[in-house]
């Protein structure tokens, strides 16, 4: 069978391409980063076209969807492909607005070490997978992230579901805000069969509210500070942050469900190297550590800066943030402003516009800078990487640490510093 992946350089799509090829299928693909999108990419020998959720009417990749439709070639979403791949698998899925990639990586490494031989699909490259995003196993176990964007998680039917947190996010997909998000989570959790397990964070009020509305009889196991069990760790994590301790607690709970010896849990998590762009140390410049993180939501930024303060308590914390999507920034702008309280200095780039799933609204990065400075005068707007790199060359030293955070290209600022160091 031949597949064509529209957006094949996307993180998950790269893993799926490798998985399909390992099953003996032929796979072609296209992406703005490589071939570009054009109708000629859809050839007559293609049996199935798979698109990412980012490929929508108005995006450049849609021309290939239309070309497939003209040829009567079936087009499905990435999540539907994963649904089909995992229909005969025992699925462990991590869901929630934050922590999915870290927990999925932890779970994958734990099951590999414990001899479960799982397939693990992660939302970022993993050092222990040879910097790949997928580990292909031969057993019936399949570990994955189940993202709420575009309601993709409704295509998944996990045997075990880890639920971290629920809050306002992806408001382009959920214009009704938190009530609409909660309704989608209720529908998703009901995909867990009555004999399945839901591992849920007891500290999150929205999680508790959603759990009170589900109809599945799946067993609910709680973790978190307010939980009677799985509320602390008896080992030290090598990655900082209270949020990562919570992440690890959920994995300890999972290990008990699967009867994995606690010694294996301690060994795996005590030596845990997170996935890429999760508090990733890229190097140093003028004695200053260069940390990069994927965080693009206020909660993620706040917890990452707190982790930065935990790891570098006496350093000046300089943060460069690249905002992503007008539809995210505008409704959450006050929360974004509050999320930088723990930083000493903040540099904000222009909001990144996402074709096909965004629209330019009456909001700007300058507005965010103004709100931050109303609390504490420490934010600057800078338009280009060149301007930012020039400023950082003059201001980074052994008494400071840099955090680049936001959409993936923001890490290139640190790369440019490393090139001139």
pLDDT in the model for residue 355? 73
Rounded to the nearest 5°, which phi and psi values hold at 209? -65, -45
Looking up residue 47, the CATH number of its domain turns out to be 3.40.50.720
Is 356 inside any structural domain?
Answer: yes
Contact assessment for residue 110 and residue 133, using Cβ atoms and an 8 Å cutoff:
no
Residue count (the chain): 421
| Claim to verify: residue 251 and residue 138 sit in the same structural domain | yes
Please say whether the dihedral angle defined by the alpha carbons of residues 120, 121, 123 and 128, taken in this order, is positive or negative: positive
Average the pLDDT over each of 233-237, 388-392, 405-409 and give the range with the smallest value.
405-409
pLDDT tens string 123-145: 999 999 999 999 999 999 999 99
Q: Which residue has the tokens 């196993």?
A: 137
Q: Which two tokens stand for residue 16?
A: 């799926």
pLDDT in the model for residue 15? 97
Is 275 inside any structural domain?
Answer: no
| Claim to verify: residue 95 and residue 54 sit in the same structural domain | no
Does pLDDT of 408 surpass 90?
Answer: no
Looking up residue 260, the CATH number of its domain turns out to be 3.40.1190.10
Average pLDDT along the chain: 97
| Claim to verify: residue 263 and residue 371 sit in the same structural domain | no
| Claim to verify: residue 73 and residue 90 sit in the same structural domain | no
- What is the arithmetic mean of pLDDT over 118-123? 97
Last residue of a domain, one of 252, 270, 288: 270
Kind plus residue range of the DSSP H or E element containing 19: helix 11-22
Q: How confident is residue 54, by pLDDT bands cut at 50, 70 and 90?
A: confident
pLDDT in the model for residue 245? 98
| Claim to verify: residue 252 and residue 353 sit in the same structural domain | no
CA 35 to chain centre: 25
| Claim to verify: residue 232 and residue 357 sit in the same structural domain | no
| Claim to verify: residue 259 and residue 291 sit in the same structural domain | no
pLDDT in the model for residue 91? 98
pLDDT tens string 55-89: 989 899 999 999 999 999 999 999 999 999 999 99
Percent residues over pLDDT 70 in the chain: 100
Does pLDDT of 357 surpass 80?
Answer: no
pLDDT tens string 324-351: 999 999 999 999 999 999 999 999 999 9
Q: How confident is residue 296, by pLDDT bands cut at 50, 70 and 90?
A: very high
pLDDT in the model for residue 240? 97
| Claim to verify: residue 227 and residue 320 sit in the same structural domain | no
Does pLDDT of 307 surpass 80?
Answer: yes
Count of CB atoms situated within 10 Å of the CB of 152: 22
| Claim to verify: residue 144 and residue 226 sit in the same structural domain | yes
Q: Which two tokens stand for residue 283?
A: 């190097």
Is 113 inside any structural domain?
Answer: yes
Rounded Cα distance between 130 and 121, Å, is: 13
Query: What is the domain extent for residue 188?
Result: 86-270
Rounded Cα distance between 307 and 25, Å, is: 43
Last residue of a domain, one of 213, 239, 270: 270
- What is the arithmetic mean of pLDDT over 204-223? 98
Does pLDDT of 356 surpass 80?
Answer: no
Is 407 inside any structural domain?
Answer: yes
| Claim to verify: residue 137 and residue 259 sit in the same structural domain | yes
CB proximity list for 93: less than 8 A, separation 6 or greater: 143, 144, 145, 146, 153, 156, 158, 160, 161, 162
Last residue of a domain, one of 78, 110, 137: 78
| Claim to verify: residue 261 and residue 301 sit in the same structural domain | no
Is 96 inside any structural domain?
Answer: yes
Contact assessment for residue 141 and residue 92, using Cβ atoms and an 8 Å cutoff:
yes
Is 388 inside any structural domain?
Answer: yes
| Claim to verify: residue 307 and residue 397 sit in the same structural domain | yes
- Please state the domain count of the chain: 3
């Amino acid at each position: 069978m031949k597949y064509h992946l529209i957006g094949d350089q996307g993180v998950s799509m790269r893993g799926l391409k490798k998985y399909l090829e390992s099953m003996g299928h032929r796979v072609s693909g296209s992406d703005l980063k490589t071939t570009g999108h054009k109708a000629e990419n859809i050839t007559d020998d293609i049996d199935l076209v798979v698109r990412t959720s980012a490929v929508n009417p108005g995006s450049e990749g849609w021309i290939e969807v239309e070309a497939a439709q003209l040829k009567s070639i079936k087009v499905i979403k990435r999540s539907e492909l994963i649904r089909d791949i995992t229909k005969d698998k025992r699925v462990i899925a991590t869901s929630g607005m934050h922590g999915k990639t870290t927990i999925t990586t932890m779970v994958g490494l734990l099951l590999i070490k414990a001899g479960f031989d799982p397939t693990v699909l992660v939302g970022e490259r993993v050092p222990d997978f040879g910097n790949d995003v997928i580990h292909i196993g031969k057993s019936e176990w399949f570990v994955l992230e189940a993202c709420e964007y575009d309601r993709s998680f409704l295509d998944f039917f996990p045997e075990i579901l880890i639920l971290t947190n629920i809050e306002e996010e992806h408001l382009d997909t959920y214009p009704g805000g938190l009530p609409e998000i909660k309704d989608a989570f209720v529908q998703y959790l009901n995909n867990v069969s009555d004999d399945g397990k839901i591992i849920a964070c007891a500290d999150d009020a929205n999680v508790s509210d959603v759990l009170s509305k589900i109809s599945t009889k799946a067993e609910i196991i709680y973790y978190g500070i307010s939980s009677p069990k799985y509320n602390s760790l008896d080992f030290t994590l090598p990655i900082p942050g209270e949020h990562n301790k919570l992440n690890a607690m959920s994995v300890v709970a999972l290990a008990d469900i699967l009867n994995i010896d606690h010694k294996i849990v301690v060994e795996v998590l005590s030596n845990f190297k997170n996935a890429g762009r999760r508090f990733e140390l890229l190097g140093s410049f003028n004695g200053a550590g260069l940390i990069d993180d994927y965080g693009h939501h206020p909660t993620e930024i706040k917890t990452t800066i707190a982790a930065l303060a935990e790891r570098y308590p006496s350093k000046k914390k300089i943060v460069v943030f690249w905002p992503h999507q007008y539809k995210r920034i505008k409704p959450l702008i006050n929360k974004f402003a509050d999320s930088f309280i723990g930083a000493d200095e903040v540099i904000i780039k222009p909001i990144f516009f996402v074709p096909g799933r965004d629209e330019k609204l009456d909001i700007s990065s300058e507005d965010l800078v103004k709100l931050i400075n109303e609390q504490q005068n420490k934010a600057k707007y800078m338009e280009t990487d060149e301007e930012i790199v020039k400023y950082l060359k003059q201001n980074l030293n052994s008494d400071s640490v840099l955090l680049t955070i936001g959409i993936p290209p923001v890490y290139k600022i640190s790369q440019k510093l490393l090139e001139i160091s």
